[in-house]
Chains A and B, each alone.
Chain A
């Protein structure tokens, strides 16, 4: 600068030149009023007028650096060469302040439309679940429950719907992790997420048109645009399962917009305990890490991200059964028939799942237009499931699926107008499933290749400060090209020969190979409005329609499902299901009281369900057969929340959810609908006392009284060797239960800029024995007993 200054001085001869022009907003081209322009090293200033015009005078021939400041913009510097009077317009990054504020909080536009009902969980909440899973944390959201297999496989359920009906968007990429299975938990580490947003319903069209239930969006923490280095480490321990968990993350960012970040998690747990017995073989191992780097400039940038997830999960030994009489024994016993002393060992039955996600994204902003995003992502999911096997096969998995997905997505955000925003995008993907034949067991899911292509457009308009409208449409094409072996006997008994005989590629004595190639055309859309009655009082109305093609399990599965002792049959004849959902959300605040009321109605045509269709006899004994079929269904319900802040120390929050699902074809309830539940938390906080926070939470789940009667009668040989006929009560729902949990934490300043938060938690304080309707292991064992947890969080 000094050199420049001297250089200018030396050349100075005639000093009456000027620079003039207009200062504009980069974004929408609007003139910027009251920008201050100063010439570095000189006492020359100018202020832009109402039309953005400025004039800097008294300049000599030379090169000048001009600094421009504006209250709503980041300081910008421009270099201008002066040989005569210069006219130069400057464009400022008008929204930078807003952009930075948003990125620091970790929130961004990755949500549904304005009118959609969504809830975001921030890192403070997520951290409490550091040693648990995403599904556990999401139960904090009104209307979200979980479908469990034990307590380590936790799948989120949104307004009664789950699995393929709930999309999980991990860092902008749709998770392809065999989510069709009810025993397949999302393969992502909760500690990698900076925040998680749940969008109820299908209005987040950018991510897919098949979100009949909803969308869960997780985002990695965003790097701030400044020179900084920070990180955090959380060490957790729990008495139940004698588990230990460690997660650590570090982020280095530069003012230039460049950043590098890394994060890793390890969890180690042994057998869990119900109040009265050990839940044998329920240990867990988890190893995850993610790394990323990128550049966030205002006009362009890129991100590169890679994450790896691996978990090994023991499945309750007592839930692995051989046939229907084993199931009857388990149901009648009321206690698991296999209980051993605590161990960290994990034996079969177990799951070993890995997920790789690699992603490259790039964005560029265009003046007076908007922002273009391009993303490429690669995912590979490997799921191995181990059953109790015999002989040479004992250490082989009985299911070994490798799912590889490539996705290329683009989105253009038009945001040049102040009261109108629109997104346009297209997406293509290729997916390949490879079931390893070395399992020695016929494939549950066949080899298949799947191609998808989708296009969408969404827009939202501010009609007035009160009214905001939004809408969008999406079209998806999907082709699945499978190679599937059927037993000759199943092919015949399903009546496929007449309908699909031309798909048969080859036939052997016992099996035949079929090559179904199915195309699906899916249309989805959303329209909605938000009316701001007054500050903090909003009314939202949203209508959405989603279309979901049947997943590979629904189409192709045929075979024995060990943990349920059922034979599951897919159906090639299934077509896509189409949902029509209306939801209203009314939120308001009166002094310390805030509330939200969210009723909804979801009508689903051709809803794919699994229903019993008889018994099948084998040398192992009898098995009930469940077959996928389609019915028209409707779900309605309401999610309520209310919070009251008594004073600066005490507050009370409560959320309630009710959902009612009905099979309209047969006028009977839908299976697996969450029971009505209430969560109430009484909190105390005292910032002066090392930020002490105490919470007492009550979780009450009523008995689900609406369930379809799928009980069946079976004749079998009982333990006395007598042939008896018994009704198998598979439908019955567990009793209501009420649990109390304690949360507490204090902060300590340890070093300069470092805080240590010590948390102490007790789950199920009263050690209540209970079973939950949405736990697949409810027939076999009680849920978790009391659990003391300690968490040390170190922010630096």
Chain B
């Protein structure tokens, strides 16, 4: 019964090898999502007067809790604001600033700013890929922007971050999202009042 012996030996060998390699009975480590953007802060600094901040905080990421949205105050009619965006992952301590990654991959990201029809506000990019990458590409990124507040009104201000958009598609470099494609990394809306 040579075959039997051979079989038995092989079986023992295989089981032996596997029992050696089996993992230790450790508790799996906790994972904090590395890429999740828990906090979006838009800072609007006027030429004169009070700075307005818009914040959306969603500490459980894809979990069931909804983002908590705060708007610090209303905008002044006719005022020009210097805008900037801060993206953070607060599941890590200290909070990870995600802007750095966006800057490093400026050619693959673009923010879009939109005002709903009731809100009299215009936006203009004040940065480009060249700002972060020195690549002589003038396509906007949108980590900084200008907001020109118009007459008194109210409506929805939306900020969207697209990953791998078609930056060369029509209107995209002017901030029109229609042809941008790509996938959405951030989309949040804020109720704004211009007084």
- Check if B28 sits within 8 Å of A485, measured CB to CB: yes
Given contacts A325-B184, A616-B64, A721-B116, contact A513 B104 (CB under 8 A): no
Interface residues on B, range: 35 or more
Closest CB of chain B to A665's CB: distance in Å? 25
Given contacts A304-B10, A338-B181, contact A617 B66 (CB under 8 A): yes
**Residue B62 interfacial (CB < 8 Å):** yes
Q: Which of B137-195 contact A (CB under 8 A)?
A: 156, 158, 160, 162-164, 166, 177-178, 181-189
Q: Which of B107-127 contact A (CB under 8 A)?
A: 114-117
**Residue B48 interfacial (CB < 8 Å):** no
Q: How far is the CA of A297 from the CA of B186 in the complex (A)?
A: 67
- Check if A322 sits within 8 Å of B7, measured CB to CB: no
**Residue A502 interfacial (CB < 8 Å):** no
Partner of A490, one of B33, B63, B158: B63
Q: How far is the CA of A156 from the CA of B47 in the complex (A)?
A: 64
Residues of A contacting B114 in the complex (Cβ-Cβ under 8 angstroms): 717, 720-721
- Check if B156 sits within 8 Å of A717, measured CB to CB: yes
**Residue A326 interfacial (CB < 8 Å):** yes
**Residue A362 interfacial (CB < 8 Å):** yes
Return the CB mask of A344-367 against B: 1 if under 8 Å, else 0.
Answer: 000000000000001010101000
**Residue B20 interfacial (CB < 8 Å):** no
Partner of B67, one of A376, A391, A406, A617: A617
**Residue B42 interfacial (CB < 8 Å):** no
Q: How far is the CA of A304 from the CA of B29 in the complex (A)?
A: 38
- Check if B63 sits within 8 Å of A388, measured CB to CB: no
Return the CB mask of B76-98 against A: 1 if under 8 Å, else 0.
Answer: 00000000000000010000001
**Residue A390 interfacial (CB < 8 Å):** yes
Closest CB of chain A to B106's CB: distance in Å? 12
**Residue A71 interfacial (CB < 8 Å):** no
Q: How far is the CA of A435 from the CA of B31 in the complex (A)?
A: 11
Q: Which of A407-454 contact B (CB under 8 A)?
A: 432, 434-435, 437, 439-443, 446-447
- Check if B11 sits within 8 Å of A360, measured CB to CB: yes
**Residue B50 interfacial (CB < 8 Å):** no
**Residue A204 interfacial (CB < 8 Å):** no
- Check if B62 sits within 8 Å of A567, measured CB to CB: yes
Partner of A505, one of B14, B27, B39, B162: B27
**Residue A79 interfacial (CB < 8 Å):** no
Partner of B163, one of A302, A322, A360, A378: A322
Closest CB of chain A to B43's CB: distance in Å? 17
**Residue B52 interfacial (CB < 8 Å):** no
**Residue A14 interfacial (CB < 8 Å):** no
Closest CB of chain A to B141's CB: distance in Å? 14
Closest CB of chain B to A220's CB: distance in Å? 18
Q: How far is the CA of A378 from the CA of B29 in the complex (A)?
A: 27
Residues of B contacting A487 in the complex (Cβ-Cβ under 8 angstroms): 60-61, 63
Residues of A contacting B160 in the complex (Cβ-Cβ under 8 angstroms): 717
- Check if B22 sits within 8 Å of A432, measured CB to CB: yes
Q: How far is the CA of A602 from the CA of B105 in the complex (A)?
A: 54
Closest CB of chain A to B158's CB: distance in Å? 5
- Check if B60 sits within 8 Å of A302, measured CB to CB: no
Residues of A contacting B15 in the complex (Cβ-Cβ under 8 angstroms): 376, 406
Residues of B contacting A360 in the complex (Cβ-Cβ under 8 angstroms): 7, 10-11, 14
Q: Please, which residue of chain B has its CB at the minimum distance from the CB of A304? A: B10
Closest CB of chain A to B169's CB: distance in Å? 10
Residues of B contacting A717 in the complex (Cβ-Cβ under 8 angstroms): 114, 156, 158, 160, 187, 189
- Check if A390 sits within 8 Å of B27, measured CB to CB: no
Q: Please, which residue of chain A has its CB at the minimum distance from the CB of B118? A: A722
Q: Which of A541-566 contact B (CB under 8 A)?
A: 559-560
- Check if A391 sits within 8 Å of B104, measured CB to CB: yes
Q: Please, which residue of chain A has its CB at the minimum distance from the CB of B163? A: A388
Q: Which of B27-53 contact A (CB under 8 A)?
A: 27-35, 37-40
**Residue A11 interfacial (CB < 8 Å):** no
Residues of A contacting B65 in the complex (Cβ-Cβ under 8 angstroms): 489
- Check if A323 sits within 8 Å of B187, measured CB to CB: yes
Closest CB of chain A to B54's CB: distance in Å? 13
- Check if B63 sits within 8 Å of A301, measured CB to CB: no
Residues of A contacting B11 in the complex (Cβ-Cβ under 8 angstroms): 360, 376
* Chain B interfacial positions (CB closer than 8 Å to A): 1, 3-4, 6-7, 10-11, 14-15, 18, 22-23, 27-35, 37-40, 56, 58-67, 91, 98, 100-102, 104-105, 114-117, 156, 158, 160, 162-164, 166, 177-178, 181-189
Q: What would be 30 A-B contacts, judged by CB atoms less than 8 Å apart?
A: A322-B187, A326-B183, A338-B164, A360-B14, A364-B4, A376-B14, A378-B14, A390-B102, A390-B105, A391-B35, A391-B105, A392-B34, A393-B35, A406-B18, A440-B31, A440-B33, A446-B28, A485-B28, A485-B30, A489-B63, A490-B60, A506-B27, A510-B59, A511-B30, A560-B62, A619-B40, A621-B184, A717-B189, A719-B177, A720-B178
* Extra pairs beyond A483-B28, A485-B31 (13, CB < 8 Å): A300-B3, A338-B182, A362-B4, A378-B18, A390-B35, A392-B34, A446-B28, A487-B63, A619-B188, A620-B186, A719-B177, A719-B178, A723-B116
Give the top 9 A-B pairs by smallest Cβ distance, nearest first: A721-B114, A322-B184, A391-B101, A440-B34, A322-B183, A621-B187, A337-B181, A487-B63, A493-B64
